[in-house]
Amino acid sequence: MSLQQLYVALLAGGLVLLASIVSTRIAVRIGLPSLLVFLAVGVVLGEDGLGVDFDNAQLAQNLGTAALAVILVEGGLTTKWSDVRKLLAPAGVLATVGVGVSTVLTAAGAHLLLGMNWQLALLLGAIVSSTDAAAVFSILRVLPLPKRVAGLLEAESGFNDAPTVILVLLFSTTPLQLDPLSIAGNLLYQLAAGTAIGLAVGWLGSKRLPHIALPASGLYPLAIFGLGVVAFAAAGAAQASGFIAAYLAGMVLANAGLPHRSATESFAEGLGWLAQIGLFVLLGLLVTPSELHHELLPAFVVGLVLLLVARPVSVLVSVAGFRMPWREQTFLSWAGLRGAVPIVLATYPVVQGVPGSDRLVDIVFVLVMIFTLVQGPSLRPLARRLGLIPAEAAREIQAESAPLDVLDAELLTITVPPGSQLHHVSIVELRLPEPSVITLIVRKGQAFVPQPDSWLEAGDELLIVTTARQREAAERRLRAVSRRGKLAHWFGEYGDLD
């Protein structure tokens, strides 16, 4: 590739990335899952759109697997141990027994209703049997669900990629040989070894990183995320499950009290979004929309079997011993979201040369598109109807993604330095330009909401909400009072920058 071609490729990639980000904002406002937007961007760029011809299943599989590793590391780094600690047992059963039950029932439906041979039917059942980590993390974390339900779905989606990949690879062998003992042994080894490697890498990282003085704080998030990738690669090299290793390593590191946790979560979230965008756009490029109409009916039939039979039965069987209320079971059954993982897995039998497997990519793509449109927007109304969230419940938000931009507002924080004339100035005497307001003061480690007659003290940390239009005026007023006190304007001090 010449330098000029590199510039063109980077320009195209940057424009696609920006278009995907802007489209995500629009999709959120109208209630569409972001993964559909990214897939649509890939379709628009593809053969039936702008004419980009991409049909390399091997490359799609390799890049998709790497992107899934990044997504799972991000998922582990943003999972709170307190939310999933008591849910490991049911999540583990859902990720293993549940996947097996769902695979068998979906395969039986595809074989009996569509006439697929058993190898393709089993492959299709395994491919769509697991919930998708990217879809779950991006959709469910904005719903105010009970921690038991949300934590169980997150843990399940983090764990069940591993057994699903194992089943897909086993069913992709030609000729197909179903040896229950061999399958069970392979599954047990990959899960056990992947778990051990993930926990070991996470534990070693949590013990060593606090004692390493890195020259820049921005290197800590890189090091922590890099450990998750190391866990994934090490497990893969040992013929174990890299997916479960990546997720567990990230979860151990995130909950070990390492420095710069907030920065690490932000960095991981950014990389996770980048991986999702690249993955979904790539998978959108892989399909040809003009050929999808042949698979609409098969995808719809398989999706109905999965949604109405296989998933509910797998949940019922998996949680039977955990005394879970029927309302939570109903929501778990409906919230088995599918996304990028099934489409990536559909490339595995293609690469392995399984006869007739080409159509699986199209079937899975259509299934994901249709049922994400159905399931995604319906989760909040269903949760409310089941009484899992009250109608007036607030939505949990991240500070960086708070809806301040909707109000054209900005969040500022300052610390009152020693010797500042802000010391002993009251809130009302500060006279910040409206609608600027000090919402919180942190003093000697204790936070409180200030009243109009509250006094500022040296060392106070102030949290200020203002509008974009008044931000400069608020900063000027703070500088002016800091320099000359509450009567700063009488002394001709207006907070100008030196």
The DSSP line for 114-173 is H---HHHHHHHHHHTSSPPHHHHHHHHTTS---HHHHHHHHHHHHHTHHHHHHHHHHHTS
CA distance 443 to 139: 36
| Domains of the chain and CATH, by start | 54-385 (1.20.1530.20), 406-491 (3.30.70.1450)
CA distance 38 to 28: 13
CA distance 214 to 307: 49
What confidence score (pLDDT) does residue 32 get? 58
CA distance 358 to 332: 31
Q: Residue 65's CB: how many other CB atoms inside 10 A?
A: 19
CA distance 129 to 163: 10
Bridge partners of 414? 462
CB burial string 237-261: b at 16+ within 10 A, e below: ebebbbbbbbbbbbbbbbbbebebb
Joined together, the tokens standing for residue 145 give 């669900």
Residues 6 or more apart from 44 whose CB is under 8 A from it?
50, 284
Bridge partners of 463? 413, 440
- pLDDT tens by residue, 34-60: 667 777 777 777 766 676 776 777 777
> What mean pLDDT, rounded, does the chain reach?
80
Planar angle of CA 197, 88, 126, nearest 5 degrees? 75
* Higher pLDDT among residues 14 and 23, named by residue: 14
For the cut 70, the answer to whether the pLDDT of residue 449 exceeds it is yes
- pLDDT tens by residue, 142-193: 667 777 787 788 778 777 877 888 888 888 887 777 677 777 787 788 888 9
Sheet strands side by side (includes 446-448): 409-415, 461-467, 437-443, 446-448
CA distance 286 to 42: 8
- Helix residue spans in 172-218 (DSSP H): 180-208
What confidence score (pLDDT) does residue 305 get? 92
- Rounded to 10 degrees, the C-alpha dihedral 77/81/87/91 comes to 20
Mean pLDDT of 76-90: 78
What confidence score (pLDDT) does residue 377 get? 76
pLDDT-derived band of residue 105, with 50, 70 and 90 as boundaries? very high
- pLDDT tens by residue, 235-265: 888 888 888 888 888 888 888 777 677 777 7
